[in-house]
Structure 1
C-alpha cells in the first residue's frame, strides 16, 4: 500500500493500559465489604476492570452506554455463503432503525441509544437517513476470494471513519460502547481474518451461523475463506493492507473504531465473530488494546472462539445468540452495569488509608479528557 498517510504504529504509543494501581485498590476495597471472596463471581472482576478503565475509585455507574453498529455488504455473499441474499443488509439496517430487530428491541428495553454506521451497504444512500450513510466508503465491498475488498485509499478512509465515530462517541460522553455489526458475508470476512492471524486452515474457522446454512453453503463458505487466505497471508505484516485485501469497509471501520476507543479510554463490549475479528486485528496493531474490551457472549462460530482465546478474553454469556447487530453483547450489558453498581455502592466495613477509598482517583495522564488521540481526519 503506497502513499499512505495513516501510520498504525502510532497506536502502540497512544494506547495505555487501564489504571493498574486503581484496579489493585478496587480489589482491596472489595475485600473490605465483608462479602466472602468470589461471592459475586465475575462481577468483581468486571467492577475492577471498569474502575481501571474509568480511572476512578469508587467506580461510577454506567450512565451513557451506546450501541454502535457498523454495516456493510460483502461481494463474497454472491457465492451464497450466507443464509441471507447478497446485498440485503440494508433491510436489516432499516428494521433496526424501525426498532423491530432483536438488538433494537433489547436496546429500547435497556434504554440504550442505537447508532448505525453504513460503510458499504448495497443500496442507494438516499434510501437511508443521512446520519447513517455519511461515512459510506463504497457500495458493497469486493469479493475477497478473487480481489481486494477495498482499494488502499478506501481502506484508509474506512479506518479513519471508524476513528472519527469513536471520537464522536467519546466527546459526547458515551461511557461504554456495545459494538455490533450488520452485514451479508461478514462472517466469511471475519473467518478469513481470524484464520490468517491465528495460522489455521479454513475448515477450522468456518461456521454455519447457528446451523442456518446447509452443507453445500458451508463448503462454499469454506472454499471462499480458503481462497481469501491465499490473498491474506502475503500481507499479514501490514494490518491495513490485510483489511483492504479481505476485510471490507465495515470491518475496517470497526477496527479503527476499536483502536481509537482504546486511545480515548472508552470501554467496549464485543458482540460476535465479526467484532472478535476486528479486535484480533487491533491486537496485532497495539497489544495493549484488548485491555479495554470484554467479550459479551459466545456464539457458535468457531472463529470467534479462536480469536477470543488468542486475546485471552472469556465471554460473559454463552447463550449461542446468532442474530448479530449487537444482540448478544446487549444481553451482557446488564451484567456490566450490575458490576459497576455493586462496585460503586457496596459499603466498606472500616476506614481506609488516605486516597484508597475516595474521590476520583485519576492522574492527569490517565484522564480520558486529556488522553492523546490519533487524528482521524
Structure 2
C-alpha cells in the first residue's frame, strides 16, 4: 500500500503566531500548549483553509491487541493467555484505559489484531485477526510481507470509518504479551543501537529476564540483518500484528488529515516505522508522554520531539495518550476563547 499524505504548510504560520501572541499573556507564556495549538491549526488548515478557530471532534482511542511467539521464550512477566484476558477486560470496561476514557471523554474501540484465542463473540471486539500469534522473531520472520499489507488495509478501513463518524483526533493503545521485545528490536534496527540500549525492565521483569530479552533481540537482529533496511520488511521480520496495524492506522489517519496522539514505547516504535514509510506522517503526530520504559526517552530524542507528559507510566493500553487529551483541549480552548490585548483593553506586554 502507498499513502498520499500531505505535508502541513507554513502558509498560515504568521497568522497563527500573531493570533497566539496577541492573547493576554507574555510571549510564549503557555509553553507547549502554544506549540500544540500551532500544530493543530496547521493540520486543520489543510481541510478548512482557515485558522480562526480549532476543534477536537469525537476523540477516538483504539486498542490493538496481538500475541507474540517470542513470549514463549520467557521474556515477559506473564504468559500469552493474559493478552486475551485483558482484551476481555477492555471489552467489559474494567481496565485503566476504560476508566480514563470514561473520565476524559474518549470513545474507545478494541481490536483483535491477532491474539492466541479469539474473544467471545458476545464481547464488543472488532475482528481484524491476522493470525493467532506471530512466529518467534529470533528464529523466523514474525509474519509474511503479505500479512503486513493485509494489516495495513484493515487499519485503513477502520480509520476511514472513524473519520466518517466525525472524529478528527485518534490515539492508539496496545496489548500483547511480548510486544516490548518486538518494539525493542524495531528500535535497535532503526536507531542502530544494541539491545542493551533498547531493552528495559518493562513492567518489572528481573535482571535475568532482561538479559534473556536482550539476547533474543540480538539474535533477531542478526537473523534478519539483510531485510531491515526496508520498513515493511522490518515489520514482517520483527513486528507484531498489533504493531503492524497501529503503524498502518497512523499512516491512514494522516492521509485523512486527522491528528494523531502517540502513546508510549510500543506505539512510538510503530510511529518510527510509519515515519520511515512516509515522513509526512510526523506532521500529524503529537507525542503524549515519555513512559518509564528506558528506551522511550532515547526514541523521543532520536525523533526530536517533546512529549507533553512524564508520569513514569509503564502500562501501555494507550493510557498516556488518554491522559494527554485535556492538554490538547486546553490548547484548543485558549486559542479559541482567550481574549486578545485589544479585546480585553489591556496594554500589550510585548
Q: 1:147 to 1:93 in 2, by over 3 A?
A: same
TM-score by length of 1: 0.86
**Does 1:34 find its partner at 2:28?**
no
Q: Is the 8 A contact 2:55 2:332 kept in 1?
A: yes
Taking the aligned partners of 2:326 and 2:121, their CA distance within structure 1 comes to: 31
The DSSP-based 3-state class of the residue aligned with 2:218 is: helix
- State the shift of 1:24 in Å: 3.1
Taking the aligned partners of 1:145 and 1:348, their CA distance within structure 2 comes to: 59
Structure 1 gap ranges (5+): 1-5, 352-377
Q: 1:318 to 1:148 in 2, by over 3 A?
A: same
Taking the aligned partners of 1:309 and 1:291, their CA distance within structure 2 comes to: 16
- State the shift of 1:350 in Å: 4.2
**Does 1:301 find its partner at 2:293?**
yes
Alignment of 1:1-377 (within 5 A): 6=1, 10-11=2-3, 14-55=4-45, 56-125=50-119, 127-129=120-122, 132-210=125-203, 212-350=204-342
Q: Is the 8 A contact 1:189 1:248 kept in 2?
A: yes
Structure 2 gap ranges (5+): 344-350
Q: Is the 8 A contact 1:159 1:256 kept in 2?
A: yes
Taking the aligned partners of 1:306 and 1:266, their CA distance within structure 2 comes to: 26
The DSSP-based 3-state class of the residue aligned with 1:307 is: helix
Deviations 1:183-214 (A, max 9, x none): 1111110010111000010111001114x100
- State the shift of 1:59 in Å: 3.1
Q: 1:237 to 1:69 in 2, by over 3 A?
A: same
Q: Is the 8 A contact 1:22 1:52 kept in 2?
A: yes
TM-score by length of 2: 0.92
The RMSD of aligned alpha carbons is: 1.6
Taking the aligned partners of 1:169 and 1:24, their CA distance within structure 2 comes to: 32
Which stretch has the larger CA shift, 16-25 or 221-230? 16-25
- State the shift of 1:26 in Å: 1.3
* Count of aligned pairs: 339
